[in-house]
Amino acid sequence: MLRQGEKLMLHRHFQYHIQYAVPVEIYLDNVHIDIGILTAVDEGFVELQGTLYNRNRYTFISRPGY
């Protein structure tokens, strides 16, 4: 769905990454925070490896093939 390096913006982007276990990289103000497989998502938060990240505060980047 998204190419490597593209931002996840829409809810369906997050759902796709969960469904197909596509890795996601997380940034806060251009600083790398985490990378891994998403386990849950709702309108406000994303869960990655047991940690919740606010969708409005962090940037989520698609990393297929990681």
56: in domain = yes
Q: Which domain holds residue 29?
A: 6-62
41: in domain = yes
Q: What is the mean pLDDT of residues 45-66?
A: 91
33: in domain = yes
1: in domain = no
Can you give the pLDDT at residue 63? 85
For residue 41, how many other CB atoms are within 10 A of its CB? Answer: 20
Task: Tell me how many domains the chain contains.
Answer: 1
**For residues 53 and 30, what is the distance between their CA atoms, to the nearest angstrom?**
15
Summarize pLDDT for 11-53 with one digit per residue, the tens.
999 999 999 999 999 999 999 999 999 999 999 999 999 999 9
29: in domain = yes
20: in domain = yes
Measured over the CA atoms of residue 60, residue 50, residue 14 and residue 54, the dihedral's sign is negative
**For residues 36 and 17, what is the distance between their CA atoms, to the nearest angstrom?**
10
Instruction: Please check whether residue 54 is in contact with residue 44, taking contact to mean a CB–CB distance below 8 angstroms.
Output: yes
Q: What is the CATH number of the domain that holds 41?
A: 2.30.30
